[in-house]
Amino acid sequence: MYATRTRNARPEPFAVHVGIGERLGLANMDWPLTIAAIALIAFSVFTLGEATQNDIPGDPNYFLERQAIYAALGIVGMVLLTRIDYSRFRELRVGIYTFLCASISLVFVFGFAARGSRRAFELPFFSFQPSELGKLLLVLALAGFVIDGARRGSAVQRTVRYLCLGLAPAALVFLQPDLGTSLVYVVATLAVMYFGGVPWMHFAVIGGVLATLVAVVLVVAPAAGVPLLKGYQEERLTSFLNPHEHEGGAGYQQNQSKVAIGSGEITGRGDKATQTRLDFVPERHTDFIFAVIGERYGFMGAAFVLSLYALLFWRALRITTLSKNAYGTLVAGGIAVALLFQTFVNVGMNLGIMPITGIPLPLMSYGGSSVLATFLAVGVLQSINVQAHLSQRGRFAW
């Protein structure tokens, strides 16, 4: 497709005919990425509308309306970011980083507690969860630090510095406690470092340390009588390995989710989707929305949604190679990997092959913070794409 498109056919920047797209600065958007993102949120709104009719008595469209508003806000945010040169964020990295850490910390003071966890501020029209936006902020700031520090210190010093910068907010989020989001921070940090050229050997060491840590946290420490994770956290993390042992607890959710998805078969059960309609699957509008899709729309619907995520990931990864500068590559890489990670962990959790970590499905799970943050991240990707084209240097195309 791109191979057949000649650059000469594109309008010149100062062409006489200036279309609406051009005026909005959208001409150089990556349209497959845009379409994937909008298709996903559309599917989300549609699914929520169908599946949550009876959730709020007297307000059948509660979730549908709110998710639609978040989607609209998100799309506006995405378009705005598309028009901005993302490179400015590199200069603002210290401010962004400070804001990131501060906003997460403030949750401890002002946040409201939901299910034993302080994650969000209660705002007049919705509750804002800073750690969601923080995923993007962390990538933007950390990529800046990596570029900035590329020539300072030894390779080991640099690696340690990046790790510390990335793991500090991750630790704050972990303490909220929000294990899932903190894992996204860790993965995003590693991704930015990876695209920043940190040597393979360092990753091998980090991998080794991580493996040891997991072993200590899950096996050694509890055995020694020093539990580091809260009971429910550990149970969620390990129950997927043998769900039948945990029929009543964490394993129950996953088992019901599996039954829901499996029962959708090829074409789905539509309104007969009893598993997700009759509360057998918990959190069906947020963490387990993929189970709703699987049951209602079957393999055809679920595979279609998965394909959209694959498209999203591919376009994001492609943008890393188009970027006009290394900062853009790092940011796009961080965002791409974070999206891949969240998608895989959430869908894997719905399918019973990943632990329950409370990571929402980007652009699908109900929730303003997540939808907005993801659209802003897509906006940053678009900005990188647009800038690459504007700088006339995006010749490389897959």
Partner 1 sequence: MYLRNDSRPQGSRLSLRVAVVGGVGAVLFAVLFFRLWNLQVLSGDKYLAEAKNNRTREFKVIAPRGDILDRDGDVLVDNRTSLALQLNTRKLPDDPVEERAELARLGELTHMSLRQVRRSIEKGEEVAAGAPVTLRRDVGFDLIAYVEENQDEFPGVAVQRVFVRHYPDGVRAAHVLGNVGEITEAELKEPRYKGLEPGDEIGQAGAEYAYDEFLRGDPGLTRIQVNALGQPTPGGQLVSMPPTPGDNVKLTIDGDVQSAGEGGLAARGLPGAFISMNIDNGQILAMGSNPTYDPTVLIEPTQAQVNELYRDEVLAPLVNRATEGAYPTGSIFKIITALAALENGQITPDTVVQDNGQIEVGTDTFENAGGVAHGAVELRRALQVSSDVYFYLLGLDMWKTNELQEWAHKLGIGRPAGLDLPEEGETLLPSKAWREQLVKEGLALEDRPWSAGDNIQLATGQGDLQTNPLQMAIAYAALGSGGRIVTPHVGLEVEDEAGRVLKEFDPKPQRKIHIDPSHRTVILEGLHAAAQEGEGTAAGVFGGFPIPIAGKTGTAERPGHADQSWFAALSPYPNPRIVTVATVEEGGFGAESAAPVVLDILEAIYDKQAAEVSSAGGAE
Please state the closest distance from residue 95 (CB atom) to partner 1, in A.
18
Token representation of residue 394? 């995006």
Please state the closest distance from residue 347 (CB atom) to partner 1, in A.
5
Please state the closest distance from residue 130 (CB atom) to partner 1, in A.
27
Q: Which residue, 215 or 303, has its beta carbon nearer to partner 1? A: 303
Among 131, 144, 78, residue whose Cα is nearest residue 377: 78
Q: What is the 3-state secondary structure (H, E, C) of 262-312?
A: HHCCCCCCHHHCHHHHCCCCCCCCCCCHHHHHHHHHHHHHHHHHHHHHHHH
Q: Which residue, 172 or 319, has its beta carbon nearer to partner 1? A: 319
A 10 A CB-CB count for 298 gives: 21
- Strands (E) in the chain, as ranges, are 112-114, 117-122, 127-128
- What phi, psi does 218 have (nearest 5°)? -90, -30
Please state the closest distance from residue 109 (CB atom) to partner 1, in A.
34
Please state the closest distance from residue 216 (CB atom) to partner 1, in A.
26
Q: What distance in Å separates the CA atoms of residue 36 and residue 31, rounded to the nearest whole number? A: 8
**Angle at 288 (CA atoms; ends 49, 351), nearest 5 degrees:** 130
Q: Which residue, 264 or 367, has its beta carbon nearer to partner 1? A: 264
Q: What distance in Å separates the CA atoms of residue 359 and residue 187, rounded to the nearest whole number? A: 13
Please state the closest distance from residue 117 (CB atom) to partner 1, in A.
23
Task: Write out the residues near partner 1 by the rule CB under 8 A.
Answer: 90, 146-147, 150-151, 155, 191, 194-197, 256, 258-266, 269, 274-275, 278-280, 294-295, 298-299, 302-303, 306, 309-310, 313-314, 317, 320-321, 323-327, 329, 333, 336-337, 340, 344, 347-348, 351-353, 388, 393
Q: Which residue, 177 or 348, has its beta carbon nearer to partner 1? A: 348
Q: Which residue, 199 or 227, has its beta carbon nearer to partner 1? A: 199
What lies within 8 Å, CB to CB, of 275 at 6+ separation is 256, 259, 260, 263, 281, 291, 295
Please state the closest distance from residue 87 (CB atom) to partner 1, in A.
9
Q: Where does residue 365 rank: exposed (0-12), middle (13-18), buried (19+ CB within 10 A)? A: buried
What lies within 8 Å, CB to CB, of 136 at 6+ separation is 335, 373, 376, 377, 380
Q: Which residue, 15 or 150, has its beta carbon nearer to partner 1? A: 150
Across the beta sheet with 117-122, the strand order is 112-114, 117-122, 127-128
**Are the CB atoms for 184 and 104 separated by under 8 Å?**
no
Q: Which residue, 60 or 348, has its beta carbon nearer to partner 1? A: 348
Q: What distance in Å separates the CA atoms of residue 254 and residue 350, rounded to the nearest whole number? A: 7
Please state the closest distance from residue 34 (CB atom) to partner 1, in A.
20
Report the amino acid identity of residue 115. R
Please state the closest distance from residue 373 (CB atom) to partner 1, in A.
21
Q: Which residue, 185 or 309, has its beta carbon nearer to partner 1? A: 309
- What's the sign of the alpha-carbon dihedral 384, 195, 327, 106? positive
Q: Which residue, 95 or 197, has its beta carbon nearer to partner 1? A: 197
Please state the closest distance from residue 98 (CB atom) to partner 1, in A.
22
Q: Which residue, 170 or 331, has its beta carbon nearer to partner 1? A: 331
Among 97, 220, 216, residue whose Cα is nearest residue 164: 97
